[in-house]
Amino acid sequence: MRTPPPPSRSGCPGFTVPNVSNVAAAARYSRQHLATEFFKVTGRALRTVLKERRLRRAARALRAGATISEAVEASRYVSEAYFRTEFRARFGMTPSAYRRAAKRAHLAARFGG
């Protein structure tokens, strides 16, 4: 019987953070060619789209009650300080404030407050 791979930091075996390099490798294109073609089709930079996905993953984790450290792990940021900077730039508030706001919204929806 084959032993399954160990869970990654995200808790999902085999999960890697999508970045331009590994997406290009999977598509068998050079990084530059993939980025150029992606921009032609979508009008957006691939690295920006991938960063937004990571930040949405973190926001989802925070809404579900994860700690900041757990959200950093879920979105696979190496530096918590950099994560906080990127999160604030994207959502207009710190991860802590976002988590508190999500908790208040959940309670208000649940108890009509």
For 76, the token pair is 């696979």
Q: Residue 18: CB partners within 8 Å, gap ≥ 6?
A: 50, 53
- pLDDT (0 to 100) of residue 73: 92
Quote the distance between the C-alpha of residue 72 and its chain's center.
Answer: 8
Average pLDDT of adjacent 10-residue blocks, the chain of 113 residues: 42 61 87 92 93 94 94 92 96 95 85 70
- pLDDT (0 to 100) of residue 37: 92
- pLDDT (0 to 100) of residue 21: 83
- pLDDT (0 to 100) of residue 15: 53
- In the block, residue with structure tokens 């331009």: 20
- pLDDT (0 to 100) of residue 40: 95
Alpha helices in 1-111 (DSSP H): 20-27, 31-42, 46-63, 68-74, 80-91, 95-111
The reported pTM is: 0.74
**Complete domains list, the chain, with CATH:** 20-111 (1.10.10.60)
